[in-house]
Chain A
Amino acid sequence: MDEAALDAMIDAGTSVLGIEMQPEWRAAVRLHLVISLGHVATVLETHLPDHLDPAPVFTA
């Protein structure tokens, strides 16, 4: 995603969530969003079986 697309995502998302985005936060939020979306891509690039149950609460 280019900078404009990231900014559009930041503006839309913070607006939906009721966070009043400030100009001086943008560069850092963008940096962390790029990092987070990189991890998203890593997780989504693998195929997981349809019947695999998510583990939001689990016993180790």
Chain B
Amino acid sequence: MSPFTSATDIAASVSSGRTSATAVVDACLERIERLNPVLNAFTTVLADRAKAKAAEGRSGPLAGVPFAVKNLIDIAGVPTLAGSKINRDHPPATVDAPLVARLEAAGAILVGALNMGEYAYDFTGENVHDGPSRNPHDTTRMAGGSSGGSGSAVGGGLVPLALGSDTNGSIRVPASFCGLFGLKPTYGRLPRTGGFPFVSSLDHLGPFARGSADLALAYDAMQGYDPADPVCVDRPPEPVSGLLRKGADGLRIVSAGGYFRSGASPEALIALDAVAAALGATRTVTIPDARRARSAAYIISTTEGAALHLERLRTRPDDFDADVRDRLIAGALVPALAVVQAQKFRRWFREEMVRLFQDVDAILAPATPCVAPLIGQKTFVLDGVEMPLRPNIGIYTQPISFIGLPVVVIPIPTSLGLPIGVQIVTAPWREDLALRIAHALESSGVAKAPIPTLEY
């Protein structure tokens, strides 16, 4: 098997007895040992646990598939760092988060915890405590964040599957920069139980993979109500894997114009237009007040984040990453009435978008304004204006997650030799349509996770 063998193929091979789960895990652990010093994707490797699980024998739709999770997701016996120094003082988690348990119940094998931006408040994948997770296609560049280790690990072929979180784009940005398929499900679809929070009213968990079928397999394995997460919605699982071959024919697919083209680099627009052309999506729609939606998401994030971390800002300010601390302090100073207005606007914006989805099935939009910036880069140019990078990479992802819409990001090659992502956005609870469109684009060769040039 190659480092890039899909989860689907690994599971088929293990299930048929052609390969053992132990052989798969041993090869995976060897790759991590050799390449993690280059990518810095993992913060904890669980070799003993993974080998013991493999030795049990594995069955199910993800039989023998190694996976890893962003280090804000609970793993029994491991402190849940959330990218921070402060949480290293926390006792280890006592149980696995439900999504970890569900993937393992489907046959997958957890091999470790992944690097991330401190407390998930970044789009860069940089971490002052653990060092930056690196982009597998150019290790001088950002993996994207905050789920940087997830993007780096799957993009680099260390594991075929990883979990991340997405509050304002933290799955979609690293998927774009690392050239991966990423799913941010509908808000409330997958339980966040056992995940360290950032902005409760915006937090989602979801998978990264190198293809749409793997993404669907993982998503199907993780669906299901969990009353321990107060925002998880009690609705039956709606498996998607069996629907992928239905494709995109007959679906009403449009491109987002206006705000979603303003500021985008030529690479982002070429990728978007190529996807639209492949799907025959000739119509462009204007998402109403997208700029304000982004601002409202920003305000809710910075204030909820500040509230979450206030006690730590009071007592351990020097133990934060300065880039995170100083943003949180600014967030703590935002007038409260702006938060209430942002939440009122959120209601209005959701109603407008639900109305828009009466006439369309999917909206295409850039995932990031540009390909991966250099590690350490602090500013970039948006619409001809030099802007701080960290607060602005998510300009196209924030308005979408603001109202919890499901999104699949697909990887598109660019002339720069680096990938960039396109978002496929659908109505609430219609992950199936986004994944079908992603599968159609992958089948036609338009979307493809690139193979890195690392030494394997």
Contact = CB atoms under 8 A, between A and B. Distances in A.
8 contacts: A9-B333, A28-B327, A29-B329, A35-B388, A36-B299, A43-B299, A55-B344, A58-B346
B345 A39 contact: no
Given A9-B333, A32-B391, A59-B233, A48 B405 contact: no
The 7 closest A-B CB pairs, nearest first, are A60-B404, A32-B330, A54-B343, A28-B326, A39-B295, A42-B295, A13-B333
Given A13-B332, A28-B326, A46 B188 contact: no
A31 B388 contact: yes
Contact of B295 (A10, A22, A43, A53): A43
B388 A52 contact: no
B388 A57 contact: no
B245 interface: no
Contact of A53 (B188, B325, B347): B347
Contacts of B302: 36
Contacts of B346: 54-55, 58
Contacts of A31: 326, 330, 388
Given A20-B317, A33-B333, A36-B331, A43 B345 contact: yes
Contacts of B233: 59
B278 interface: no
B348 A48 contact: yes
Given A9-B333, A22-B317, A29-B329, A42 B403 contact: no
Interface size band for B = 35 or more
Contact of A58 (B296, B331, B347, B388): B347
B431 to A, nearest CB: 11
Instruction: Tell me which of A14, A17, A38, A43 has the highest count of chain B C-beta atoms within 10 A of its own C-beta.
Output: A43
Contacts of A32: 326-327, 329-331, 391
Given A10-B333, A25-B325, A58-B350, A39 B341 contact: no
A39 B299 contact: yes
A58 B351 CA distance: 12
Contacts of B314: 17-20
Interface of A: 9-10, 13-14, 17-22, 25, 28-33, 35-40, 42-44, 46, 48, 52-60
Given A40-B334, A52-B348, A60-B405, A28 B322 contact: yes
B344 A58 contact: no
Given A42-B292, A58-B350, A36 B298 contact: yes
Contact of A60 (B188, B327, B329, B343): B188
Contacts of B429: 60
B338 interface: yes
Instruction: Tell me which of A25, A29, A30, A53 has the highest count of chain B C-beta atoms within 10 A of its own C-beta.
Output: A29
B313 interface: yes
A58 B289 CA distance: 20
A46 B317 contact: no
Contacts of A39: 294-296, 298-299
B186 interface: yes
Contact of A25 (B329, B337, B347): B329
Contacts of B404: 58, 60
B338 A14 contact: no
B60 interface: no
Nearest to A13: B333
A13 B38 CA distance: 43
A10 B328 CA distance: 12
Contacts of A40: 295, 299, 334-335, 338
B291 interface: yes
A30 B388 CA distance: 13
A40 B334 CA distance: 8
B343 A55 contact: yes
A31 B343 CA distance: 24
Given A43-B295, A48-B345, A60-B187, A19 B350 contact: no
A18 to B, nearest CB: 5
Instruction: Tell me which of B310, B326, B337 has the highest count of chain A C-beta atoms within 10 A of its own C-beta.
Output: B326
Contact of B341 (A21, A29, A43, A60): A43
Given A40-B335, A43-B292, A46-B292, A19 B317 contact: yes
Given A21-B329, A28-B327, 8 more contacts: A13-B333, A17-B314, A25-B326, A29-B329, A36-B302, A39-B294, A40-B295, A54-B343
Contacts of B186: 60
Contacts of B338: 40, 43-44
A60 B298 contact: no
Interface in B177-236: 186-188, 201, 230-231, 233
B317 A57 contact: no
Contacts of A9: 333
